[in-house]
């Protein structure tokens, strides 16, 4: 009867016969790695030579340029005063908006007085529409 050691030796021998052999040679792998390293070093040296010869120096950036001040307004404070005066005249003065249509701009304080005197009906329409008059309809949209 064979012992366990003999069985394990036989199993290992059987496995060794069935395994695929390692036919890998280290020389081609080393040559490919060395060739890649040489290629990278030559490329880097070539780029360094090119940048030093043809391009601007790496550590010499151009001097910062001073931009001129924007010339949007010559006198901003004066422009603001004029703008506020125009706004004040618009809020406090009377003016015709549309003379033919009868639209008048009135001061805000006067408009608030008028609405205050009307009370709860202050925001009602000024003229109620007449329900007897139908709305205008285009002739092509009218029903026969």
30-59 pLDDT, tens digit per residue, is 999 999 999 999 999 999 888 878 766 567
pTM over 0.85: no
Query: Cα-flanking dihedrals φ and ψ of residue 35, to 5°?
Result: -65, -40
User: Cα(first)–Cα(last) distance of the chain, in Å?
Assistant: 117
Q: Is the pLDDT of residue 1 over 60?
A: no
- pLDDT tier, 23 (very low <50, low <70, confident <90, very high otherwise): confident
Q: pLDDT for 93-139, tens place per residue? A: 888 887 777 788 888 888 888 888 888 887 787 776 677 777 677 77
Q: What is the mean pLDDT of the chain?
A: 81
> Which sequence spans correspond to the domains of the chain?
23-58, 76-122
Distance CA(53)–CA(45), nearest Å, equals 12
pLDDT category at 144 given cuts 50, 70, 90 is low
Q: Is the pLDDT of residue 16 over 80?
A: no
């Amino acid at each position: 009867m064979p012992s366990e050691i003999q069985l394990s030796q036989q199993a290992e021998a059987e496995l060794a016969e069935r395994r695929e052999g390692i036919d890998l040679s280290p020389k081609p792998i080393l040559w490919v790695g060395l060739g890649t390293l040489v290629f990278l070093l030559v490329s880097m040296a070539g780029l360094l030579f090119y940048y030093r010869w043809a391009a601007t120096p790496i550590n010499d950036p151009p001097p910062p340029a001073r931009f001129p001040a924007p010339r949007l307004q010559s006198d901003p404070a004066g422009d603001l005063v004029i703008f506020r005066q125009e706004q004040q005249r618009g809020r406090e003065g009377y003016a015709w908006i549309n003379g033919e249509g009868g639209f008048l701009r009135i001061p805000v304080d006067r408009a608030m007085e008028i609405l205050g005197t009307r009370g709860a009906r202050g925001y009602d329409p000024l003229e109620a529409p007449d329900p007897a008059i139908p709305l205008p309809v285009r002739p092509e949209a009218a029903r026969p």
